[in-house]
């Protein structure tokens, strides 16, 4: 059984304003006071894991230990079937040091054109970590979500961030880039399935770590 989060303050272990906004929006109904790793001046750890789960754990544990507070970290990205799952855990790196996701999306499309397969999925791993102390090695939990869809071109919509404008989720006629955050992450206790990968991971976090069905 997952450890239950009972504290009233949580570090969001990200320096990405888009992720911070989305995670803060998802946490808002639960009255949890959040602060970002960027606001605390925490260094970004080297993400050298081989999976979304591993990288989320690296970020959550680093932030928790540095801040002395529980921390929640997200590692997520786009996995394209025709590219063998790339960009995957390197999704942000494909945007380069300038975080130019227009360039990253163009690169994905250029490579996808070599195949007739347009299938892809977004993955999110949320890691919740409690800080280690002299008498306690700390503790962590991971919650994962996934949403399937297709890559489209040209990019459509100016909402969201990252690869959202070229991802058309199954069952929708609009890309993530065309959806307001409230729609993309629409979820409430008792609702079967959220739309986005991050909200689906959050559903598991809310159920197992917050005790909300």
The pLDDT profile of the chain, 213 residues, written as one tens digit per residue, is 568 888 889 999 988 887 788 788 888 888 888 999 999 999 999 999 999 999 999 999 999 999 999 999 999 999 999 999 999 999 999 999 998 999 999 999 999 999 999 999 999 999 999 998 877 778 999 999 999 999 999 999 998 889 999 999 999 999 999 998 878 877 665 556 778 898 899 888 988 998 876
End-to-end Cα spacing for the chain: 15
CA count, 13 A, side-chain hemisphere, 30 = 27
Q: Is 147 helix (H, G, I), strand (E, B) or coil?
A: strand
Predicted local confidence at residue 190, as pLDDT: 59
Strand intervals (E) in 30-166? 33-36, 71-80, 119-130, 139-151
For the chain, domains (ranges, CATH) are: 9-209 (3.90.950.10)
Can you tell me the distance from the alpha carbon of 131 to that of 139, in angstroms, rounded to the nearest whole number?
A: 7
Which residues have a catalytic role annotated?
75
Predicted local confidence at residue 70, as pLDDT: 95
Residue 26, token pair as written in the block? 């998802």
């Amino acid at each position: 059984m997952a450890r239950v989060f009972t504290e009233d303050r949580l570090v969001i272990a990200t320096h990405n304003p888009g992720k911070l906004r989305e995670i803060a929006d998802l946490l808002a109904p639960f009255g949890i006071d959040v602060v970002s790793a960027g606001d605390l001046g925490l260094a970004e750890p080297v993400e050298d894991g081989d999976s979304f789960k591993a990288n989320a754990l690296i970020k959550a544990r680093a932030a928790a230990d540095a801040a002395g507070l529980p921390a929640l970290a997200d590692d997520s990205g786009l996995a394209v079937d025709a590219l063998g799952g790339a960009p995957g855990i390197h999704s942000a790196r494909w945007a380069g040091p300038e975080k130019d996701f227009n360039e990253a999306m163009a690169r994905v499309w250029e490579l996808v054109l070599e195949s007739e397969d347009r299938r892809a999925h977004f993955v999110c791993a949320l890691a919740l970590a409690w800080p280690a102390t002299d008498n306690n090695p700390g503790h962590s939990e991971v919650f994962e979500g996934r949403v399937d869809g297709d890559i489209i071109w040209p990019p459509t919509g100016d909402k969201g961030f990252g690869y959202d404008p070229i991802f058309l989720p199954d069952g929708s006629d609009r890309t993530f880039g065309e959806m307001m955050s409230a729609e993309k992450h629409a979820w409430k206790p008792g609702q079967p399935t959220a739309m986005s990968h991050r909200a689906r991971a959050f559903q598991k976090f809310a159920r197992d770590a917050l005790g909300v069905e």
